[in-house]
Amino acid sequence: MAWLPANTPLVRLDGIADAAAVQAILYKDEGSRFGLGSFKALGGAYAVFSLLQGIVAEEIGRKVDVHELIDGSFRNLTEKVTVTCATDGNHGRSVAWGAQMFGCRCVIYVHEHVSLARQKAIAAYGAEVRVHPGNYDEAVRQAAADAAQNQWITVSDTSYEGYTVIPRDVMQGYGVALAESFAQMTPAERPTHVFMQAGVGGVAASFCSYLWERFGEEAPRFIVVEPERADCVYRTLEQGSPCHVKGELDTIMAGLACGEVSIIAWEILKTGMDAVMTITDQSARDAMCLLADAKFGDTPVVAGESAVAGLAGFLLAAQQPDSRKALGLDEKSVIYVFGTEGATDPYLYEEIVGRPAEVVAQPEVTA
């Protein structure tokens, strides 16, 4: 896409790697992506662009480019469209940003546990924010029902029976971050292991698919990491088919608080991943502080609660001899983890880390 800015950093955590007895840890820091604070900007906004591009092309008989939508050349067509979705925060912010940039209306549903800071961040892009009682999955169903009634278009990052096309666009957008990562690596840094967090599984499946397409049987081992209170991929693997984790899904890892795995994500993960593990909220807190404090001499990194799940999962596995053996972790292992967000809830970040994100030194953005 022509409007992509400079790449987000790939941070080398050499000090933590030495402490964990592996060759390297590569942390892709998405905190600066498009100024939105998370990787979700790659998915939701891209899907909004693709959707509006198709609608305009059908009307005028040709494909328009991104600049024609941004400059408002076809605002008379795009402003008639309303996009909607449910979100834990970051995806909705991306969809709202895309709607504002490309010129359509936007209604975003959040569940009652989404923080006010995240709601305000979405509304700042001109979206109408509606708070729905219950959890994320209930908000998804409400957004879909209202969309059907009002002839809105759902731009969701999760798929379900009868709804798969747009979520595939979202997943394709995510792949930009992994392609960037490989361009930033040296040949010696090719990962042997990827520890990837999952909510509904969209980004995990996107990365898993990319790795298999690029490396085939030589793809890195792929380990999915989830909050223990929102472990839909783990339970789906146990059951053998998509299942529904019920309840409040109460975890500080708000972006991963999902009770139902995306059906298209599951089709990829069920054969592409090597293992699934769950982590506690305390493990996420510890990983956030580890990155911020840089006590092993690494570059300090501002990482949100959901960003650190993969790193937290790796650190837990690295400390357990049985897990190291089962996953093939040794002094030659190169670990890739995806830092999905910065401090998208500044108040919670300060509460956990003990100081505001602004005073934690940030790595330079690399081209």
Asked if residue 199 lies in contact with residue 233, where contact means CB atoms within 8 angstroms, the answer is no
Q: In whole angstroms, give the CA distance from residue 129 to residue 109.
A: 6
Q: Which of 14, 28, 29, 40 is catalytic?
A: 40
Examine the residue annotation and report whether 40 is marked as an active-site residue of this protein. yes
Of the candidates 45, 141, 149, 143, which has an alpha carbon nearest to the alpha carbon of residue 102? 45
Q: What is the pLDDT of residues 57-95, one digit of tens each?
A: 999 999 999 999 999 999 999 999 999 999 988 899 999
Q: What percentage of the chain has pLDDT greater than the value 70? A: 96
DSSP 60-101: HSS---HHHHHTTTTHHHHTT-EEEEEESSHHHHHHHHHHHH
Which residues are registered as beta bridge partners of 194? 222, 336
Q: What is the pLDDT of residues 269-302, one digit of tens each?
A: 999 999 999 999 999 999 999 999 999 999 999 9
pLDDT at 25: 98
Q: In whole angstroms, give the CA distance from residue 39 to residue 206.
A: 12
Residue 41 pLDDT exceeds 90: no
DSSP 219-275: PPEEEEEEETTS-HHHHHHHHTS--B--S----S-GGG--SB--HHHHHHHHHH-SE
Q: Which of 28, 29, 88, 345 is catalytic?
A: 88
Mean of pLDDT values over 195-205: 95
Q: What is the pLDDT of residues 131-143, one digit of tens each?
A: 999 888 899 999 9
For the chain, state the CA radius of gyration.
20
* 3 pLDDT tier (thresholds 50, 70, 90): very low
pLDDT at 192: 98
Mean pLDDT of the chain: 92
pLDDT at 6: 66
pTM score = 0.86
Examine the residue annotation and report whether 295 is marked as an active-site residue of this protein. no
Residue 66, both tokens: 């991104």
Q: In whole angstroms, give the CA distance from residue 341 to residue 349.
A: 11
Q: In whole angstroms, give the CA distance from residue 67 to residue 3.
A: 8
Number of helical (H) and strand (E) elements in the chain, helices listed first: 15, 10
Per the model's pLDDT, the better-predicted residue between 42 and 315 turns out to be 315
Q: What is the pLDDT of residues 166-189, one digit of tens each?
A: 998 888 889 989 999 999 999 999
Q: What is the pLDDT of residues 210-260, one digit of tens each?
A: 999 999 999 999 999 999 999 999 999 999 888 888 887 889 998 899 899
193-197 and 334-339 strand pairing: parallel
